Chain A
Amino acid sequence: SADGDAIKVCVRVRPPQEGPVPPEGEQGLCLAVLSATSIRLHSKPEPKIFTFDYVANMETTQESVFSSVAKTIVESCMNGYNGTIFAYGQTGSGKTFTMMGPSESDNFTHSLRGVIPRSFEYLFFLIEREKEKAGSGKSFLCKCSFIEIYNEQIFDLLDSASAGLFLREHIKKGVFVDGAVEQVLSSAAEAYQVLTTGWRNRRVASTSMNRESSRSHAVFTITVESLEKTNEVVNIRSSLLNLVDLAGSERQKDTHAEGLRLKEAGNINRSLSCLGQVITALVDVGNGKQRHICYRDSKLTFLLRDSLGGNAKTCIIANVHPGARCFGETLSTLNFAQRAKLIKNKAVVNEDTQGNVS
């Protein structure tokens, strides 16, 4: 299972704004797709070549992005693994298009619909198929939740009245958002309905640099529970499918994704609130000695702890804008994506057996 373990990393290049595709070079494009797995960035003095599991060029269709990247994650989710699909990239790099599709009000049926609606369809298709195959012996329960992480606070997008929520852990169920609304799903259309309702509650912001930039991370989680009865033994399997839309990468100054930026002290009257992060980094590189680091990971990495180097299957879709003006952000996105490839992921099927055999 050589390719099943590591995190899968895919890069997608969006087309530049409408109009003819500009030439490579100074005023035009800063990169070229060389093959289905490699990309060349026109950095100076030497161009740089990056290799990934999959590179989608400007012409790649939504369908083929889905089937080459996300399909296997949904399948393994049916087999009892936890799965996570991330979208990463700067504002305007095409994250929303990749994940959701064009911004028309109802794009669930749209031919350009994105990874998320297609994942829903495929998941429920697989569930129906399983049910048919197994007959009455097997049943499924799907639930979903949709939360937003903004400024290290957690909000429930399915309950706009809710205040900040907290992450907690359960010895049997792992990490969960305490008090998040869970909605039962019976079809892909229903899932999409829930998603679009929540999506409208997200926090966005406009600046003179970016017309619209999402300042929050959004995590849509589907829990798939299957119950199978053979003789007197009841087999319960449960797995999670996380669909994550990260805040624009230029906004993520507070995560590990950042480059080398210094943390500002900000207002002269306030304390140097990030000193802790610097010290934490110093302790991090300790030499295997026993130590405790007071500052816990960010909320996002804590929530997705299983997905990053834990016990799940994960893929990251890094979106880039090919324009020469986006060179800096594109470089940092590609660097991030390359680092992500180094994260090891071990997947283990879980079956807890209930009932008595005797």
Chain B
Amino acid sequence: KMAADSGWAAVCEKFRTARTLSAVESRKDPETEPYRSKYSARALLQEVKQLLSAAEEGGEARLLAVRRAVLEYELGVNHTDTEELSAGEEHLQRCTQLLEPHRLSPDCVSLYIQAQNNLGILWSERDEIKTAQTYLESAEALYNQYMKEDGNPPLDPSEHFMAEEEKLTDQERSKRFEKAYTHTLYYLAQVYQHLEMIEKAAQYCHTTLKRQLEYCGYYPVEWALNAATLSQYYLSKQCFMESRHCLAAASVIFSQAGQVPSAEDNETEQDQQDLRQRKAEIARCWIKYCLNLLQSARKLLEDNIGELDPDRQSELKVQRKKEEDEKEKGRKKAVLFGTSDVCDSVLAMEEKVSSVYPLDFQEAREIFLVGQNYVQEAKEFFQVDGYVTDHIEIVQDHSALFKVLAFFEEDYERRCKMHKRRIDMLEPIYADLNPQYYLLISRQLQFELANTYYEMMDLKVAIGNRLEEQDSHTIKKINSLAQLAIKYYELFLDSLRNPDKVFPEHLEEDVLRPAMVAKFHIARLYGKLITSDSKKQLENMQTSLEYYTFLVDYCEKYPDAVRAIETELELSKEMVGLLPTRMERLRAKLCPFI
């Protein structure tokens, strides 16, 4: 008996060494021999396996089977880790076969789930996601069944090679078991993503995040970033309450990251830099939140010419009153992050910005201001020097915030000033940008600047129309805004030309609509230019006609294009019909004697 005991101790020792080699030592392996420790661990496991078969006679069959299953599991993982999939699969299959009869008992359930997890990974490496899915879903089902029928903290696989006095506490057992199951959910999230079951994948990501928080298995910064990214998924689904919850949790958990002293005290400049970048990234997610909320509200409120519809506005206000009573109910349905402390901070964070559609200027302004604050925060890190693309994207968001706020503004003069703010932030950046490296952004800026000038011109025209008589100042202003809009549309169109400066015969899908809109707007702008010189006016009409004609001719040649610009095409056709007659009349007025 003594000899057997010391023999067992040696076996346990070997097993433990193998695990340490595999999990700890292997991380320090030189780059030239990345699997050195894994190979040593494998040799040790083989030895243990042989020792075990030698002891087979007289031992208890079930106990032996479980121990052998542990070894098969370890060998299976080892082989998969070292890119030997087929061998890995054989070991893992043997493990599950050995455990099959006992899989619901507390000493086997955790191992069985982990074996299934690893079979899932293995099959995914072979691009057989469906097979992976069956293993992982059965692991999920087993966890649920075990929790329902038993629920006691089960043995951790490593305990099968431990002396009685070393065995884990129930708390530790539970922690490890829950972690293995979290991994199942995490793998399932990936499986569903690969199978394009997006909603399900998002739900599993959400649950994984929630469990990480509950079982303290997370790095704050990483967790916060994941939650912030998930908020962007909810944005695309217009679920603003969920989106805000994710963002608030991200901000709260991120702020904890700064408080925890890092493992090595000598935190480098780089780590600080990274932390600042992450903070700015979360700020950018908040910007998008504010922007989307405002833009969605605008969509609800606008009439068919894009102005605020007062009937719709009062209708929605009544509707909201009704919903406010049911708000609490909705809140209870959402998956909430964290327990008491964290949850309180998250809820406090949420208080700072609404998650319901703003319905008037005052409400819109509050959301705008929150967004603008995050713009400042994000720009602190993403400065133009070093982060050109990110910086410009943030400025574009800022411009978009002003644009949507202007929708809620009733006073045209003030609305015009908001657009001027957009010009002031976009124009200098555009002027500096090298289109050789930033062609796409450069085009976006050209187009946005053109559109902004266009909008300002429209506002000036509307203001002018209210006056008894348009003064020369207003006329000058309208003409200059129109010229600037034309300038930027032309710059955009020029960017589509090939190296020999020829405009493409056929427009690629991604630029088709903007190019057509640019042509159409230029045509309209020439129509709006105000001049007392009839000859000049005739010229403008001629140019306008040419641009309208371009649209009509292009769509005749490429009927596929019609779908992208139906309204514009219709109006263009009308103008192509009308303009020549008008020009004829003007000509007749110019030279009445011919």
Interface on A for B, CB 8 Å cutoff? 1, 79, 82, 164, 168-175, 178, 203-209, 215, 250, 259-265, 267-268, 271-273, 275-276, 278-283, 285-287, 289-295, 306, 310-311, 328, 332, 344, 346-350, 352
Residues of A within 8 A of B83 (CB): 207, 209, 250
Cβ-defined partner of B226 (8 Å) among A171, A275, A310, A350: A275
Residues of A within 8 A of B295 (CB): 290
Cβ-defined partner of B434 (8 Å) among A204, A310, A350: A350
In whole Å, how far is B561's beta carbon from the nearest beta carbon of chain A?
18
Q: Which of A164, A174, A280, A291 has the most CB of B within 10 A?
A: A291
A295 touches B186 (CB 8 A): no
Q: Tell me whether A169 and B387 are in contact in the complex, defined as CB-CB below 8 angstroms, given that A206-B33, A265-B186, A290-B400 are known contacts.
A: yes
Residues of B within 8 A of A208 (CB): 35, 39, 82, 84
Q: Tell me whether A289 and B33 are in contact in the complex, defined as CB-CB below 8 angstroms, given that A295-B229, A348-B499 are known contacts.
A: no
Residues of A within 8 A of B440 (CB): 310
Q: Which of B16-56 contact A (CB under 8 A)?
A: 23, 31-35, 39
**B182 in the interface (beta carbon within 8 A):** yes
Residues of B within 8 A of A287 (CB): 236
Q: Which of A263, A265, A346 has the most CB of B within 10 A?
A: A265
In whole Å, how far is B373's beta carbon from the nearest beta carbon of chain A?
16
A261 touches B498 (CB 8 A): no
In whole Å, how far is A253's beta carbon from the nearest beta carbon of chain B?
9
B205 touches A278 (CB 8 A): yes
Selecting from B98-106, B283-291, B515-523, the interface stretch reads B283-291
B186 touches A275 (CB 8 A): yes
Residues of A within 8 A of B39 (CB): 208
In whole Å, how far is B427's beta carbon from the nearest beta carbon of chain A?
14
A278 touches B189 (CB 8 A): yes
A261 touches B236 (CB 8 A): no
**B69 in the interface (beta carbon within 8 A):** no
**B388 in the interface (beta carbon within 8 A):** yes
Residues of A within 8 A of B202 (CB): 279, 282
Taking residues whose C-beta sits less than 8 angstroms from the other chain, chain B's interface range is 35 or more
In whole Å, how far is A233's beta carbon from the nearest beta carbon of chain B?
18
Residues of B within 8 A of A168 (CB): 386-387
Residues of B within 8 A of A79 (CB): 499
B31 touches A205 (CB 8 A): yes
Give bound CA distance, A225 to B270, whole Å: 33
Cβ-defined partner of B435 (8 Å) among A203, A207, A290, A348: A348
Q: Which of B182-221 contact A (CB under 8 A)?
A: 182-183, 186-187, 189-191, 193-194, 198, 201-202, 205, 208-209, 212, 217-219
B23 touches A174 (CB 8 A): no
Q: Tell me whether A275 and B432 are in contact in the complex, defined as CB-CB below 8 angstroms, given that A206-B32, A291-B235 are known contacts.
A: no
Q: Tell me whether A286 and B236 are in contact in the complex, defined as CB-CB below 8 angstroms, given that A260-B127, A275-B186 are known contacts.
A: yes
**B180 in the interface (beta carbon within 8 A):** yes
**B275 in the interface (beta carbon within 8 A):** no
A279 touches B205 (CB 8 A): yes
- 12 additional contacts (CB under 8 A) given A286-B236, A294-B281: A79-B499, A172-B434, A206-B33, A207-B82, A260-B124, A283-B230, A283-B233, A292-B281, A294-B285, A311-B435, A332-B127, A352-B434
B400 touches A279 (CB 8 A): no
A262 touches B191 (CB 8 A): yes
Cβ-defined partner of B198 (8 Å) among A171, A174, A280, A282: A282
B212 touches A261 (CB 8 A): no
B124 touches A262 (CB 8 A): yes
Give bound CA distance, A276 to B232, whole Å: 12
B222 touches A273 (CB 8 A): yes
B233 touches A286 (CB 8 A): yes
**B376 in the interface (beta carbon within 8 A):** no
Question: Closest A-chain residue to B77, C-beta based?
Answer: A264
